[in-house]
Each structure stands twice: as structure tokens, then as C-alpha cells.
Structure 1
């Protein structure tokens, strides 16, 4: 698709012609990871094209900027979203840094030290002053910049409302002696009672993965600081819908003057635009394979864009899938296995069984898969995007969480929303086989009612009059009000 740097230069000049200078200008800053960029880019597309007709500047890191522009059809994108421009800032890491698995935490500190001054310089250099900034909740240095420059800022937390609420109680969990969570102490199933609204839901093993750290660990302190800074924003955006998390959203409204629940965002974007938010090349050949399968017969397996497995874990999952006897579609990223220096050590019996009833791809169009009639279950890492997409399409889940918010999401799936099973903390082949059979046949009827109900509520929320429809409309109207107020102030100067 050409040299991305040359395209970037062309695009910036071209966008100046297409920007509507009397329209609001929103700068969007995601945390530089696929799971954060995806919903924020969907929101940017929505504000640019579908809902607001705004001018949008979407700020990636240099690393992700190049990845994105190499993958999208740049001409088609520019034609479809003429007032959305991409700009970039450095993330402070070397080009060789993997930016995945455990090393992704390096971005927490490098972006705060390196990206913050670069972001300020970018904001100052823009040809049109921003009406407001929408910043990821873990990029709260944007709030410092916005305060300095007198620009309103809205924080977007790409987690569920429930997990966001839990992060506001990290210091309380420390005071109550619940942190650090020590695995193997025999008390992982002790209930957590100090978080309002979740008293009878959470166990120690269901707390976010950072709760295994000591209170003074830099990563723990990073999350505490970021969460505290979020409260300085004028409002909070969440990619969820009111009916799914009503009690917890009410609690968050005691912290933020306005909470916009505008999800599921992927349902608000037209199908051709959905894949424009991926940083990884899609392999769509799996759709043809799904077309040849019976309805509700296939288990979809994906562990997202960041999680890594050991070779032993890979084999346990593989044996469990094969032994279940169910057809499966599995996304195995090239970097999924952390110690994959001996890729030929896959037993022939697994290879043969996979040829018979399996399909493996390196990355896939997830929404197209989850909405496919052949898919009857989803073995997932419980990232929030995957969880919400699965709920929306009425696909029951087997949850195997590893990091950040995933432990919370998996517990909510099984205990709050009753739309799947929680398999956290184990992945031996017999357990995998059992859960696959549970979700695909034996106990399917127990969760079918909840999956159907929540899918209906999700779709109702985005239709005219629905909660997410109203909140999206309110977000647009509030940004327009900020824009008009700024213009009025300039006129009085």
C-alpha cells in the first residue's frame, strides 16, 4: 500500500482541505495496545461519520501508526472518513521491543515520560484547536496536558464498568489486607466484601492480576495513580450498556459528573469499517471453513492480542480441544507461544485431528466469526472487547483469564451475567475437554436463556430510544455545546 510515511505526509495535507473548520475537533488518544485502540478508533469513526460529523485527530504511537497504515486501504478509509486524520508520537521504546506479553507494562512508564511532552507539542501544533480530548484512562498524562492548555478532557476506560469500579478500590483493598493476593495460600476463594455492589460476587482469585503485586510495586502504583487522575476528567466513557451493569454504573456516577455508556461500540460501526481498527493482518479464509460446518457446532478459540502461552499450555489446550470431539476454529498468533523455539514438537495425533475437524489461523475477523451460525461457543481470554462481542452475539463463553481486567470479566460472565463458565487458574487437558463439552452440549440449556436475553438487551440499547443510543447522542450534543461555548468566548474577546 505504499510507504506509510509518504502517505502520512500526503494525508495530513489532504485532511486540512477536508476538515470542516466550523465543526468540533476531537483529539483521541488510546493506550498503545490493540484492545485499547480498537474501541477508541470505533468511537472516532462514529464521531467522524455516523453521529457527529466531527473533525477527528487520532493519535497513535509511531510503532502502531505504521502498523495500522500498512494494513488499511488508505484511499478507501480517507474517502469514507474524510475528516479523520492519523497522527503519531513516540512511545519511548526501541523498534525491536515486543510490546506484548509481560513486557507490555514497559509502555506504562515510557509513554508517561516520553509521550507526554510529545503529545503536548502535537496539540499545540494542530491547525485547528481541539474542542476536547478523549484520552484512555491509562494515558492520563493527557489530563495534565489538557489542564495546562485549557482544553476539556473526557476519559475513556476500555474496561467494563465493574472492573473500572474495582480499580477505584485498590487502596481500600490494600488497607484491608486483601493485596497482595498470594497464590497457593489456600485462601484464594475467600470472598471480597469491601467493594460496594460486589460483596457476594468476588473472590480473591477474581481480583485483577495486578492485585498479586506488593502495594509499593511500581505497576500497582501506576494503576492507583492513573485511576485517581481519571477523576479530574469532565466525564467518563465506557464501552458497555446500561442494562448489563446498572448497579455499578450508578456507583461510578458518584465519582464522575457524567458517565456515557455507549456500547457495544462494534454494533454501531458498519461491517466494512470494523476491521479498520485491527493492527494485525486478518486471515478471512476461516469464514469459508465455517460455512461448511453445521449450525452451532464450532468452538471458536482466541486468546487476544497480548496474552502468551507456554508450549506446555498450548499442548494442554490442544489436547483438550481434540479430545472433546468438537470442531474448533483457533487463532494462534505467531507470537502466542513464548517458548516456541521448537514448533515441530506438536504430536502427529494432534496434527491429524486438527486436519479432520479443526481450522487454525494467525488472526481472524472476530465479529464475523462470533456472528456466524456455525459458532456455538467461545473459549476466550476474557478481554473486555471479546467478552462484550460474545455477549452481543449470544455466544456462551469458556473463560480463561490471565492479566489485568480479565479475571474480573470471567467472574462476571459466570456469576453475574450467567453467559458462560469460568475456567481460571487451570488449563489441563481434561478440564479443557470438560468445559468444551459443557458449553457445547451438556449444560448448554442452563445458560441459553441468559445469552439470548443479554444479546437482546445489547441490541436494544443501540437502537433509537435505547440507553446507548441516548448516551451517544448526549455525548455528541455535549461536545457540540463545548464547541459553541468556545466560539462564543472567542467572539467576546
Structure 2
């Protein structure tokens, strides 16, 4: 399948980047930390007393600890995907990895704790899928992600951008393997004033004015994220499904997303649905779009940030996952939270149209989506689980910070 092959290539680029950072950035990082952790009286900058490092940069954690600076790991993916990567060695022990050639991707997977009743082979992170596709037992992407995930045990604590009401079971199964775990999220909901100015693409604010002219819950919002690349044939299947569903749609088509066919795709989308029903932009202010009264459904790749934004907005989702953690995220949307429909591994206009129609019209899905949104809002409000976890994290870091560096080194060597 073209979109899966492209995903593997993108993941391969990530491995190359990780190796490059390991080779080139560690010395400079060590030097920087050494200079910033000085406790000399002449320093105008307070010494670094704690490091919060991306969990996919394990060397950042190791070097900090070697210098006597406590390090915490922060992972931006879902807790459920973190648990799946943490369970990779068990999946091999149980014989659930590698997938047999030609095996049924709907075969249940029992080796990820807490997910035995609903997880299938096709729901595992995409790097597990590559083993099935290539018969390569030692897949470099899977090996790297599993190793980096297990390495978070070495950090003083693990921070996850999630909420108890979303992933309580996964968090419970992760906690015994870590020194401490903080579930603080969704972060964008905890800081409503937080700008999306860090977007990789310039947002088209004009789409909000177009939404203003649409009726309530009438628009399908389509965005497959910042990395997905689709073929022109796949584009046409999505387009035919959207047109057949009959709803106005706002579609994010990044430059180059449909390759050399991009210009033709933009014209084709507008011509097929008519300018009144089709609005195509290179990028959109997604949080504002999702909470707009006109949006009735979100067709998404199910990246964790997009998933969280859809959850907080209470919008039903149709999920077409692309790679890494998106496969397992979409399973949670469809089978656990029941706030949308999982369309993975299918790119057919009739299926797109049917699922969009169901997501737009289903009172049950909408009620589940809005109910989950209310639960998450309670999590981030004063007294909620995420708010309490944030306070606990602040105190945790404060306790690390008040201990002098020399005392920490002596204590940690005991």
C-alpha cells in the first residue's frame, strides 16, 4: 500500500536523524550542560538543577545524570503507544512478533497488557507492521523505538501528554516500569491561551470566515497532518467519498502532499464539489477550526496532537492512520472511546463516504465524543487529575532542585 510504504520511508528518515544527533550533538550538549550547571559565584545564570528531555533523546538523559543533574523524560505520543513499544520484547517472547507472511492482520494481540480484548495486529504501531511486510525480524525503526521507550526507566520520571480519563489503564500498566509517571494533559487544554504559532506551516485564517457562512455541524474537516503524502489515486478516493457524503468540507492539502499532482488536485477538489461546498487550504488553525460551531466531523490521521485536539473539541472522528503511533490511537478512537470510526488500511471512496456520513449523523458517536470532552475538561480544571499531576510535578522538580549539586552526586552514588 503506497501510503504505508511512504510511512516507512519517513520513519527511516527519523532513524537517520536520531543517529545523526547521537553522533554530532552529544559533545555540544555535554559542554552546554557543564557550563550551565556551574555553581561558581561569578555566574550570572542560576545553575541548571533539572533537565526535561524528549524521551526519544536518551543521550540527553544519560549525559545529564552523568553530570549529576536529575533528568526527566517527556514523550509526546500517547500512553497506549508507549505501552505497546514497552511490550515489544514480550510480543516477541509470545511469538506475536514477527507477523507471519500473509498472516491475518485482524488476529488478536494478547501481549500488550490491558488491551487483550480489542488490540489486533493491524492496531500495533506501524513499525511492527513493517516486519510483516518485509519479513525482517530486526526492524531498525521498531528496535530503536522499543529501546528508547525502555530507556525512560533511567529517567527520574516520565511525563506524558495525556489524561487519566483517556488512558487510565495504559498509565496503570506503565507506572510499575518507571521511577515515577506524570500524566499531564492535554497540554493545549491546560493552557487555553497557548498559541499555535509553532506550526510548521502558515495557517490560512480565511477558512474561519468560510466556516462562519456554514450551518451548525454541517462541515467535514479533513487534515492528515504535517507528514502524510498520498497518491493522486488516493486523493481521488477521498474526494469521491467526500462528494458522495454531500456535506461541505474544509480540506487541508499541504504543498507537495499529493506530489506533482498538487495543483491538479486543488482544482479537482473545487470543481467536483463546487466552490460553495469545498474549501481547500494549505494549512489551518486546527484548534479554532475544531471548536467552530460549523464543524461536524474530523477526518484525521490520528497523530496524538490531532487526536487530543479532536477529543477536547468533542468532535466525532473518522481515522485514517499513517504511521508510528497513529494505528493504535485510531483503535482507541473507534473501539475504546467510541468517539469515531477507524478506517485504517482502507482507501475507497464508498467507505469514505459511508463512514463520514455515519460520523456526521450518529447521535451515539456524538454523545460519546461530547461526553469524553467533558471528562477531559474536568481533568484539566482545578482539582482534576491533570491539574493535580501538574502540581505534583512542580513539587517533584522543586524537591530535586533544592538539593545542592554536590549532595545529589553523593546521594545518587550510594
Q: Fold match, TM over 0.5?
A: yes
* 2:124 pairs with 1:207: yes
**2:338 corresponds to which residue?**
418
Local SS of the residue matching 1:275: coil
Change (3 A) 1:101 1:146: closer
The residue number in structure 1 matching 2:176 is 254
* Structure 1: distance between partners of 2:12 and 2:139: 15
Distance 1:348 1:218, change over 3 A: closer
Q: Is the 8 A contact 2:219 2:297 kept in 1?
A: yes
User: Could you tell me how far 1:186 is from its partner in structure 2?
Assistant: 4.8
Say if 1:319 and 1:350, in contact at 8 Å, map to a contact too: no
- In the other structure, the counterpart of 2:28 is 118
- Which structure 2 residues correspond to residues 45-124 of structure 1 after superposition, within 5 A? 103-124=13-34
Which residue in 2 is equivalent to 1:192?
A: 109
Distance 1:195 1:345 in 2: 41
Superposition map of 1:468-487 within 5 A: 468-486=386-404
- Classify the secondary structure of the residue corresponding to 1:389: helix
SS of equivalent residue, structure 2 residue 81: helix
Q: How many residues align?
A: 388
Shift of residue 104 of structure 1? 3.8
Q: 1:263 aligns with which of 173, 177, 185?
A: 185
Q: Is the 8 A contact 1:108 1:222 kept in 2?
A: no
Corresponding residue for residue 4 of structure 2: none
In structure 2, what is the Cα distance between the partners aligned to 1:209 and 1:282? 29
From 234, 246, 271, the equivalent of 1:325 is 246
- CA–CA distance in 2 between the matches of 1:450 and 1:345? 34
- In 1, the alpha carbon distance for the partners of 2:405 and 2:264 equals 64
Say if 1:367 and 1:205 are closer, same or farther in 2 by CA, change over 3 A. Answer: same
Please list the CA deviations of residues 409-437 of structure 1 after superposition, one character each: whole Å capped at 9, or x if unmatched.
Answer: 00011111110000000111111111111
Which residue of 1 is the match for residue 58 of structure 2?
Answer: 140
Tell me what 1:85 maps to.
none
Equivalent residue runs for 1:221-370 within 5 Å? 221-271=143-193, 273-337=194-258, 339-340=259-260, 343-344=263-264, 348=268, 351-370=271-290
- Between stretches 351-360 and 136-145, larger displacement belongs to 351-360
- Tell me the residue number matched to 2:138: 216
Q: Are 2:384 and 1:466 equivalent residues in the alignment?
A: yes
Is 1:403 matched with 2:323? yes
Provide, for residues 129-178 of structure 1, a one-character-per-residue CA deviation record: whole Å limited to 9, x for no partner: 32211111211111121122111111111111111111111111122222
CA gap 1:130/1:354 in 2 versus in 1, 3 angstroms: farther
Stretch deviating more after TM superposition (351-360 or 380-389): 351-360
Note the C-alpha offset of 1:182: 5.7
Q: Distance in 1 between matches of 2:403 and 2:205?
A: 47
Contact kept? 2:229, 2:257, Cα under 8 Å:
yes
For residues 347 and 375 of structure 1, the distance between their equivalents in structure 2, rounded to whole angstroms, comes to 23
How many Å apart are 1:217 and its aligned residue?
A: 2.3
Give the whole-Å Cα distance in 2 for the aligned partners of 1:357 and 1:227. Answer: 44
2:127 and 2:139 in contact (8 A); partners too = no
Alpha-carbon separation, structure 2, partners of 1:328 and 1:101: 30
Q: Classify the secondary structure of the residue corresponding to 1:376.
A: strand
The range that moved more, 455-464 or 138-147, is 138-147
Shift of 1:352: 4.6
Which whole-Å CA distance do the structure 1 matches of 2:59 and 2:274 have between them?
47
Larger relative contact order (Cα-Cα within 8 Å, sequence gap ≥ 6): 2
Determine if contact 2:216/2:296 at 8 Å carries over to the other structure. Answer: yes
Task: Trace 1:30-45 onto structure 2 (pairs within 5 A).
Answer: none
Q: Give the conservation status (yes or no) of the 8 Å contact 1:378–1:390.
A: yes
Q: CA deviation at 1:103?
A: 3.2
Aligned to 1:248, the other structure's residue is in SS state helix
Q: Distance in 2 between matches of 1:349 and 1:386?
A: 23
In 1, Cα distance between the equivalents of 2:245 and 2:26? 50
Which runs of 5 or more residues in structure 2 are unaligned?
1-8, 37-44
In the alignment, which of 375, 378, 381 is matched to residue 457 of structure 1?
Answer: 375
Are the counterparts in 1 of residues 152 and 178 from structure 2 also a CA contact under 8 Å? no
Change in CA separation of 1:118 and 1:136 when aligned onto 2, cut-off 3 Å: same
